[in-house]
Amino acid sequence: MSALNRLVKEVLVPAGYGRAVFLRESQVIKVITVMGKQVCDFFAFNPTDPAEFLSASHTRSANGEMNPVVGKPLYNNRRQPILLLEEDTVRVHDMRFAACDPIRYGMYGVWQHRSCKMNVMEALKEVNICPPVVPDPVNLFMNVPIREEESAVILPPTSRAGDYAVFRALKDLIVVGSACPMDLNPTNNFKPTDILLEIYEGLKTSSHCLSTLK
């Protein structure tokens, strides 16, 4: 289990919106699905160079896993470990699907709809960060099993109220959580709800621990 010290900050991410938080090296972020069955599109950026960001594809490659795994880091697009997954009460997530965007909702015939792409851009604007691209997120709590014929199917999340994932920062980061607004398929069980971000002071990650991640 992660060593959580003093609670520093709580940020409620309203259903369908996004919020950005600054996470210092060794601090811990706890991502909580308040009512359950809600996906959090999870992004992270270098606050001094937003062209350096959490990369789902580099994480898959480095870990040899299709989804986040407790005890293994998430990597950025420069193949550096930036977050360590320390606790996970759900263990069902996705690192394949792109963030929803206006064109995605246009496919449903609904152009005026909030999206995770909109959410991350709005949240970053609030902290004066402008990334060159919106990267693919780590979709926390998203349930996308691969069927025998190797096709993906979106099912309602398995998470229950209060379920969470805990990450320790391995460097300073701007983290964005988007409480995905998708209500037209089972991504959020057709009813988006809130996400809660809690920031804790954490024990300094040991140099030995960091060396094992390189």
pLDDT tens digits for 153-175? 999 999 999 999 999 999 999 99
Quick one: average pLDDT of 8-16?
A: 98
Nearest in space to 17 (alpha carbons), one of 161, 149, 126 = 126
- Domain ranges in the chain? 4-212
This prediction's pTM: 0.92
Residue for token digits 């960001």?
A: 53
Helix ranges (DSSP H) in the chain: 56-63, 102-106, 116-126, 207-212
Q: Is the pLDDT of residue 180 over 70?
A: yes
Distance CA 127, CA 47 (A): 9
